[in-house]
Chains A and B, each alone.
Chain A
Amino acid sequence: MSSASDHALGRGAERAVLSIPLLALVAVAGWGRLAARELHAATLPTMADTASADVGVLSWAIAARPGARLLRVCADPNNMPFTNRAGEGFENRLAELVAGEMHADLQYTWWAQRRGFIRNTLKAGSCDVVMGVPTSFEMVAATRPYYRSTYVFVTRADAPFRVGSFDDPVLRRLRIGVQIIGDDYANTPPAHALSKRGIVGNVHGYTVYGDYSQPNPPARIIDAVAKGDIDVAVVWGPLGGWYARHEAVKLRVVPVSPQIELPFLPFVFDISMGVRRQDAALRDTLDAILVRRRAAVDSILERYAVPRAGQPALPNVS
């Protein structure tokens, strides 16, 4: 716990800085409710009422050792199968792997992965690496890609239809779920692919943000398939792969086709780790680990049923 106190978190830093030295004080003296609330408000970066109620500090370290190197990871505490506060996601596993290779202690800064995530975590300097970003992501320096996944169709295994392509005529009469983001008109690729084909009226949007007081809000769209609210969901592979295993009913996961629609609408993306642009040394370290421990990385992805679409492309030499 003590290692958590060496950084402030997020915006409103003046409050965080003020209250962090109080951590120990509160813990020892057991200040009244007022003080506790102040502390909670000042240090909890997430939106989760339920998801965060159990932890009163913004980050924690495993086996903190004085003087040891720190791997500070920016992560969402409520976003399986990627990360959660209990450390159950595949990006948690990857972070542990990397920390082990670096002989570093692992420390998380938790922040909901909404707009502003990078700004409030990595760019604010409260952590140093984001475990999963698109390789082409402009806001960070990306490592070499360590996997390539694809959007997938998720249906119930007992569904009387099969769907594997956006051009499948059955899509015109199915209830289709897609994830949508914000009002700035850049949406998930499946939403664009469907509207391009005039498939609009039977498409249901699930905000990727969902209700953050519920566990893993991006998973609601998969729940909807399991419950029969929709016939098919078109989601990013890792989400589909993981929840297909964990829903009460059996689900079928099929990669979408085509992989890239012309003129340029890809459904397949390479994923990297991301660091601040000026942290070239850390990026090089991570790159070396990704090469050295490629088998271990693949094994983690395998365990979490992350659908892979071939090997990721080699990065541009920068």
Chain B
Amino acid sequence: MLASQKLLCGTSDAPARMSRCAMLLTVVAALGTTGCLKEKSDDRPVTAAVSSSASNASGLPTIAAAATSADDGQWLMPQKDYANSRYSALAEITPENAKNLKLAFTFSTGVLRGHEAPPLVVGSTMYVVTPFPNYLYALDLSKPGAPIKWRYDPRADMSAQGVACCDVVNRGAVYSGGKIIYNTLDGHTVAVDANDGHEVWNTKVANINLGESITMAPLVAKGKVFVGNSGGEFGVRGWLTALDAGSGKIAWRAYSTGPDSDVLIGSRYKPFYPQDQGKDLGVKSWPGDAWRIGGGTVWGWLAYDPELDLLYYGTGNPGPWNPDQRPGDNKFSSGIFARDPDDGQAVWYYQWSPHDMFDYDGINEQTLLDMQMGGQTRKVLVRAERNGYVYVLDRTTGEVLSATPFGFVNTSKGVDLKTGRLIYAMDKAPQMGQVVRDVCPSSPGMKDWQPSAYSPRTGLLYLPHQNLCMDHESVEASYIAGTPYVGMISKFYPGPGGKRGVYQAWDIVNRKEKWSIPEEFPVWSGTLATAGDVVFYGTMDGWFKAVDARNGTLLWSFKTGSGIIGQPITYRGPDGKQYVAIESGVGGWAGAIVAGPIDPRDSTAALGFVNAMKDLPKASTKGGMLYVFSL
């Protein structure tokens, strides 16, 4: 019905204009009209209605207006917009015609490790950032076959590979102000001129000699680039750093552990729950000085609400101690911060998994939505968390409005909505020297880094995730300094139902699954939602799939050369057509058995994941390749 309406404010091609449009959207939404200014168009219906209108009419949650990007021709950041919707209003591809999708062009990245990044599209150029050695390619979409315009090599330190725990992945670049900005495994943030590929600035933000690396995609907002570190496996202390987008100069750094002065907790800090209030909890919730190497790394997704002017991001699990050795809540690990982007000051914090015992990093994406609850519109943040719950939080205050399991969970019994605390099932807690069996979900959680997408047209959150349990043994084989690492004794295996992966459509309002597609392997790719009511995702055995957003019917699939763990995007090409792009190239933690030659006979290799993935080498070989499709 609204598919032929075109968004007036949606044609800008620069983020600078996005905010203006966003403001307009806010005003319009506030007026309660049917959405942004629209005009009837006789053009091919490439762009569908602005999200808020369709949704308001149907009572479905809307994407936080100020955090949307109305610019659907391009794809400027991995999350698509500040709200992390990964939703595009492009609607040329529909359930009716998706079967006609055909390969438009391909591109080999020349890199063999796990490809977790999405490409970006800015104007008529596509940008592809590879896993280590972190090349950046610019492809000319205006020419047949999209030939290479240039390649940028950050000359990342070879040794960085030795400090990355699982695979040398990169989760994406971001476009801002004429620059492509991304992080390198060896701990640098680089800004590259989007036109000619020359390096504008290069700032070393992490120290690989201390075990710090960077795999996450930065976020740019209000003239700052936000970057966090990886390396919890090496006992590093987590942080989020802001750099000036123009110069690359470091503006502030907020640690995830330690005294308030390090965590940037001051007078504005008003967490919702009492357990998060108090002085220097980043010290006091740890024994002794354990906070100094306490983990809480920041390697996942950031979101930003321009209206509330709050930046949101999660913190990784506590480390490197065994849970028995760090009594306390171990703040501020495995939780979420809301901060002022200008000075980094914390505004609130909530802890998903206090005193984490299962390696449940809290770094997944949060989707910023506005939804009707109890007769009023709540500004919420929806998070499908590693510990197995879909949380709905008030993003103004950090209050938990609901927490609902989206798969089989037995490590906890729920979330107490009065106190906000996760209720652990102590019979699944690691016991020294004992095997604890059937621990669900396993360490990668119900859902790991692989980002979901939200369609305001269906009210469904599309969740790529895994279905794995584990046997966990906390000690027996211990590390001996000076000898190779022996590893923890964990064995992952399929959870209930026997399938290791799930692609699930989650009804946010009714807090239940609408439909799901079981997959043989963990669904380690991101996903994309479109206004054509087609959603896309990939599988580790290499199938790229288009699915009907409303009922989960498989519409089309294409077998790529390697397994898929990348993030699909869509854009409008210079020819006006809608394109869908995905990088194939298996790897990551789940795919390490292929990307890094791990011995499948060693069931505890790759932190236990290998045991669950023994058949992957038969299903997929390595190799990075971009695939782009159109009708």
Contacts and interface: CB of A to CB of B under 8 A. Distances in A.
Given A201-B288, A205-B290, A182 B325 contact: no
A interface bracket (residues with beta carbon within 8 Å of B): 35 or more
Interface in B461-503: 474-490
A112 B160 CA distance: 11
Contacts of A81: 482
Interface string B128-164: 0000110000000000000000000001111111111
Given A183-B319, A184-B607, A46 B293 contact: no
Interface in B102-141: 110-113, 132-133
A213 B598 contact: no
Contact of A187 (B113, B479, B489): B479
Contacts of B111: 12, 14
A202 B288 contact: yes
Given A182-B320, A204-B288, A114 B293 contact: no
A263 B434 contact: yes
B575 interface: no
Contacts of A211: 207, 209-210
A201 B482 contact: no
B289 interface: yes
Nearest to B296: A183
B487 A184 contact: yes
Contact of A183 (B155, B159, B235): B235
A43 B430 CA distance: 41
Interface in B444-472: none
Best-buried of B316, B324, B479 by chain A (most CB within 10 Å): B479
A42 B157 CA distance: 8
A249 interface: no
A123 B158 contact: no
Given A44-B158, A116-B162, A205-B235, A189 B478 contact: yes
Given A45-B162, A138-B604, A185 B155 contact: no
A117 B481 contact: no
B275 interface: no
Interface stretch (A62-70, A129-137, A157-165, A283-291): A129-137
A153 interface: no
Contacts of A15: 133, 158
Interface in B416-464: 430, 432-434, 443
Nearest to A10: B161
Best-buried of B112, B208, B478 by chain A (most CB within 10 Å): B478
A79 B482 CA distance: 7
Contact of B158 (A41, A117, A277): A41
Contacts of A138: 477, 486, 602, 604
A265 B481 contact: no
Interface in A228-255: 235-236, 238-239
A81 B596 CA distance: 30
Contacts of B211: 114, 207, 209
Given A12-B133, A209-B211, A186 B474 contact: yes
B51 interface: no
Given A45-B159, A203-B287, A187 B483 contact: no
Contacts of A119: 596-598
Given A15-B133, A196-B432, A218-B481, A116 B161 contact: yes
Nearest to B430: A185
Interface string A96-126: 0000000000000001111111111001100
B621 to A, nearest CB: 15
B9 interface: no
Contact of A200 (B287, B483, B601): B287
Contact of B320 (A118, A124, A207, A212): A207
Name B's interface SS.
Answer: loop
Contacts of B483: 113, 132-134, 137, 236, 271
Contacts of A136: 477
Nearest to A79: B482
Contacts of A170: none
B318 A183 contact: yes
B323 interface: yes
A3 interface: no
Contact of A188 (B155, B168, B479): B479
B543 interface: no
Contact of B324 (A47, A139, A195): A195
A60 interface: no
A297 interface: no
Contacts of A236: 480-483
Interface in A36-54: 37-38, 40-49
B237 to A, nearest CB: 10
A46 B162 contact: yes
Given A205-B290, A213-B209, A236-B482, A184 B163 contact: no
Interface string B316-344: 11111111111100000000000000000
Contacts of B430: 185
Contacts of B563: none
B434 A186 contact: no
B95 interface: no
B158 A183 contact: no
A42 B477 contact: no
B25 interface: no
A179 interface: yes
Contacts of A265: 432-433, 475, 478
B359 to A, nearest CB: 6
B165 interface: yes
A208 interface: yes
B588 interface: no
B144 to A, nearest CB: 27
A208 B476 CA distance: 18
B484 A137 contact: yes
A123 B476 CA distance: 24
A47 B541 CA distance: 34
Interface in B173-225: 207-211
A142 to B, nearest CB: 11
Best-buried of B110, B357, B481, B597 by chain A (most CB within 10 Å): B481
Contacts of A195: 322, 324-325, 432
A313 to B, nearest CB: 16
B487 A133 contact: no
Contacts of B234: 114-115, 182, 207, 209
B232 interface: yes
Contacts of B158: 10, 12, 15, 40-45
Nearest to B472: A185
Interface string A259-280: 0000111100101001001000
A95 interface: no
B599 interface: yes
A283 B293 CA distance: 39
Nearest to A242: B482
Contact of B484 (A46, A133, A202): A133
Nearest to B596: A119
A184 to B, nearest CB: 4
Contacts of A79: 482
Contacts of B209: 47-49, 211-213
Best-buried of A183, A187, A264 by chain B (most CB within 10 Å): A183
A205 B488 CA distance: 18
B434 to A, nearest CB: 7
Given A114-B234, A188-B479, A203-B287, A264 B359 contact: no
Best-buried of B233, B357, B434, B474 by chain A (most CB within 10 Å): B233
Nearest to B357: A185
9 contacts: A12-B168, A47-B160, A132-B482, A183-B316, A184-B233, A185-B322, A200-B326, A205-B321, A265-B432
Given A45-B162, A205-B235, A213-B209, 6 more contacts: A15-B133, A114-B163, A119-B597, A195-B325, A238-B482, A263-B434
Give me the 9 closest cross-chain CB pairs, A-B, nearest first: A183-B319, A186-B488, A207-B235, A184-B488, A213-B209, A182-B233, A195-B324, A195-B325, A47-B159
